[in-house]
Structure 1
Amino acid sequence: MSLQKKTLFISGGSRGIGLAIALRAARDGANVTIAAKTAEPHPKLPGTIYTAAQAIEEAGGRALPVVCDIREEEQVAAAVAATAEKFGGIDICINNASAIQLTGTLDTDMKRFDLMHQINARGTFLVSKTCIPHLKAAANPHILNLAPPLDMKAKWFKGHVAYTMAKFGMSMCTLGMSAEFAADGIAVNSLWPLTAIDTAAVRNLLGGAGVAAMSRSPEIMADAAHAILTRPARATTGNFFIDEEVLREEGMTDFSRYAPGAKGPLAGDFFVPDEVFARTDTKVTGLF
């Protein structure tokens, strides 16, 4: 149940859920590439690829920060090649990078539409495709997409059809590639949170501090990802995992550590099917 000496290639990852996954792996002694655009500090957001790399090494891992725009095929190829050269291969691909804009059809300009599709759907496809030749040589290879279950209800499209299309594009990579590469022993899965996660997206786009107070910390996603990535790849593929359910399978029953300041129900996340909420005893409000 360890990622010691495993090599993870993470798109994005300079902050939020991606960084939390990186730090959890680093505590095992993993090698982590942070492939993202944030070489310089953002005026409103914490973290760069270099601060992430420092935190990874302080946590016990080895880090490779790479400036990489996953919309650019040449940059992805160079980042993957640099990872394989430095660490001797790639065991795990985490498709974490994502763009969001929750606007209706008439309020979504095509530049933003293209950005979401280029990063979410195309970026996931490209990063996975580029990592797969290395994953085929790994002992227990995994691709993990931070993407939702394919719950094809109109409520998830109404109001932000462009974003949903782009995000479900990541999920369709899971659906298709898990079957395509099953014979190669490569696990391809999605992971999605039951509740909102306290990230920059929540604080800046999805309700601010009020919603953040009803959210869990990114560490719940990191712990769930760790549980998935340490499972046998050939027996763990084609799943649309929900973070809390993964950890319950691992024997966890108390999730208060992930939302210590919450005073009431937590905010249920986008795209979580009704039947998932129905089978949990966690108190969740349908904020989203």
Structure 2
Amino acid sequence: MTARNEAQESAAPTGAGTASTLAGRTLLMSGGSRGIGLAIALRAARDGARVAILAKTGEPHPKLEGTVHTAAEQIEAAGGSALPLVGDVRNDDDVRAAVEATVSTFGAIDIVVNNASAIDLSKTPDVDMKRYDLMADINVRGTFMLSKFALDALRQSGNPHILTLSPPLNLEPRWAGMHLAYTMAKYGMSLTTLGLAEELRADGIAVNSLWPATLIDTAAIRNMPGGSRMVRAARSSAIVADAAHAVLVRDARTCTGNFFTDEEVLRAEGITDLTRYSLGAPEDQLVPDIFL
């Protein structure tokens, strides 16, 4: 079964009670050097948003594209303002410093995007405990901590949002049985959404999760065995970016506690033809993402 908050029914359409743009708004994102996080940052930048990115990749990585500095260059080229912050979302001092630097530089934090995540789909006998700890620390602790440390700043915003890239709390046993360590880590992120949405409801801070309905072309997918084949049956990260934008411009007081998929957000916006996001495969041959 899928856990959804009752506020799902009251989610407002884009622009309800607020502007339909992120112009002048400040986002603080974990990760974002590449992939879905960077796509979300660039979509915000096209509105003229200010984007702070906290990520570990300060220098080029031999196996991964992009650094916080190249991401910042792309954000500014897209029309936004950028603040690259080299740091580890697992480190208390780094996260606290990122919050302080964002407020000091941009004067506010309106939106927190919990994008950083580690993945290992190994079954229990095969998962290395260091990988288990990495997923628990980045996915769960990092999401909780960045949200927690940003709360004082968010309370000063006119339309504060926390958006976490995590799945619906689907408690069908198959998902725990397929990759227990990763499932616990991702569901820990979603439990943070569930709990903070209720805890912060009276403060008017929206807390939602967003998850792709299909596979998305990311480095994590491409680096898996058979990844090049899977990518052909995936969508581009632009679909998640467009869906995130649609959520983040909604009225925080009437859009909280939801576990959205990108497809349902865009359909609520009146966008029913999603072929623009396809990487070649027909819609009926796209690979669904896990946890759905």
Q: Does 1:155 align with 2:171?
A: no
2:7 paired residue number: none
2:101 paired residue number: 82
The CA deviation at 1:12 is 0.2
**What is the alpha-carbon distance in structure 2 between the residues aligned to residue 38 and residue 185 of structure 1?**
34
Q: Does 1:244 align with 2:263?
A: yes
Q: Does 1:223 align with 2:264?
A: no
2:118 paired residue number: 99
Q: Deviations over 1:128-171 (max 9, x none)?
A: 00111100000000000000000001111113100000110000
**What is the alpha-carbon distance in structure 1 between the residues aligned to residue 127 and residue 65 of structure 2?**
27
SS at match of 2:54: strand
- With a CA cutoff of 8 Å and minimum separation of 6, indicate the structure with the bigger relative contact order: 2
2:275 paired residue number: 256
Find the partner of 2:141 among 97, 108, 122. Answer: 122
Q: Does 1:265 align with 2:267?
A: no
**What is the alpha-carbon distance in structure 1 between the residues aligned to residue 57 and residue 140 of structure 2?**
20
Q: Does 1:53 align with 2:72?
A: yes
Q: CA RMSD in A?
A: 0.8
Q: TM-score, normalised by structure 2?
A: 0.92
SS at match of 2:203: coil
1:218 maps to amino acid: S
1:110 maps to amino acid: M
Q: Does 1:23 align with 2:42?
A: yes
Gaps of 5+ in 1: 273-288
1:145 paired residue number: 164
The CA deviation at 1:3 is 0.1
Q: TM-score, normalised by structure 1?
A: 0.93
The CA deviation at 1:206 is 6.0
**What is the alpha-carbon distance in structure 2 between the residues aligned to residue 40 and residue 156 of structure 1?**
36
Q: Deviations over 1:103-143 (max 9, x none)?
A: 01111121111110000000000000011110000000000
**What is the alpha-carbon distance in structure 2 between the residues aligned to residue 59 and residue 242 of structure 1?**
26
Find the partner of 1:175 among 194, 200, 224. Answer: 194
**What is the alpha-carbon distance in structure 1 between the residues aligned to residue 28 and residue 80 of structure 2?**
13
**What is the alpha-carbon distance in structure 1 between the residues aligned to residue 207 and residue 57 of structure 2?**
27
- The worse-fitting range, judged by mean Cα deviation, of 179-188 and 202-211 is 202-211
Contact 1:105 / 1:159 at 8 angstroms: preserved in 2?
A: no
1:270 maps to amino acid: I
